[in-house]
Amino acid sequence: MKPFLSRCTLLVLALLALGAAPLRAQREKLPLEDLEVVEKKWPDAKRTYTGLRYVILKKAEKETPDASPVPGMIVKVLYKGMLLNGKVFDQATDPAQPLKTRLGRGDLIDGWEEALQRMHRGEKWLLIVPPEMGYGATGKPPLIPRRATLVFEMELLDFERK
């Protein structure tokens, strides 16, 4: 019985050493030079398992179970999109004309899809999007360069099913 237990113990330890460690480790998604800027400017930013970072600038007045949108819903959002150096590349800041788009249809960058499903109605976030959750290696010339870390101030005004 003892040899079996020791073989099982060795097998479990080997599996943990080979498999479990990479599952727990999170690869940093921001380029090193961008990471230094982000950690200096927004040291309290929370980080999700995907590498998305955010700071809640304005909390929702009341949080209810249905206070966050899900794929298929139309969201109304105010936002200002910037490069890490602060240069604005796009915005919709007029409450009378917010961006209206449907979640889960592939129209939004991955960083927005994730953030909007975490946000509550009425919240305003500062969102820091790593390149692979934004426009990636190709960027969106001429406004967004290749491998750009993006920063958004975004407010979820409302959402609805259609």
Residue of 34, 54, 128, 152 with catalytic role:
152
- Quickly state the pLDDT bin for 62 (edges 50, 70, 90): confident
Q: Which of 116, 96, 110 is nearest to 156 (CA)?
A: 116
Output the CA–CA distances (angstroms, integers) from residue 79 to 21, 32, 129, in the order listed: 38, 26, 14
Output the CA–CA distances (angstroms, integers) from residue 135 to 36, 47, 96, in the order listed: 21, 19, 28
pLDDT greater than 70 at residue 19: no
Residue of 56 and 4 predicted with greater confidence = 56
Residue of 34, 109, 144, 159 with catalytic role:
109
Range in 23-32, 37-46, 123-132 the model is least confident about: 23-32
Known catalytic residue at 152: yes
pLDDT of residue 21: 42
Known catalytic residue at 159: no
Is 2 a domain residue? no
pLDDT of residue 3: 55
Q: What CATH number does the domain containing 51 carry? A: 3.10.50.40
pLDDT greater than 60 at residue 8: no
Residue of 34, 135, 144, 159 with catalytic role:
135
**Beta-strand runs (E) in 34-132:** 46-47, 53-58, 74-83, 88-92, 99-102, 124-129
Is 7 a domain residue? no
Is 12 a domain residue? no
Is 18 a domain residue? no
The pair of structure tokens assigned to 47 is: 């980080």
The pair of structure tokens assigned to 157 is: 């005004």
Distance CA(152)–CA(119), nearest Å, equals: 14
Is 4 a domain residue? no
Residue of 34, 54, 79, 144 with catalytic role:
79
**Contact criterion met (CB below 8 Å) for 81 and 152:** yes
Known catalytic residue at 79: yes
The parent domain of residue 120 ranges over 27-160
Strand partners, 155: 78, 124
Is 51 a domain residue? yes
> Mean pLDDT, to the nearest integer, of 56-81?
90
**pLDDT tens, 126-141?**
999 999 999 999 999 9
Known catalytic residue at 135: yes
Is 124 a domain residue? yes
Task: Tell me the whole-structure pTM to 2 decimals.
Answer: 0.81
Residue of 56, 74, 89, 158 with catalytic role:
89
> Mean pLDDT, to the nearest integer, of 45-61?
95
Known catalytic residue at 90: yes
- Quickly state the pLDDT bin for 67 (edges 50, 70, 90): confident
Q: How many domains does the chain have?
A: 1
Is 15 a domain residue? no
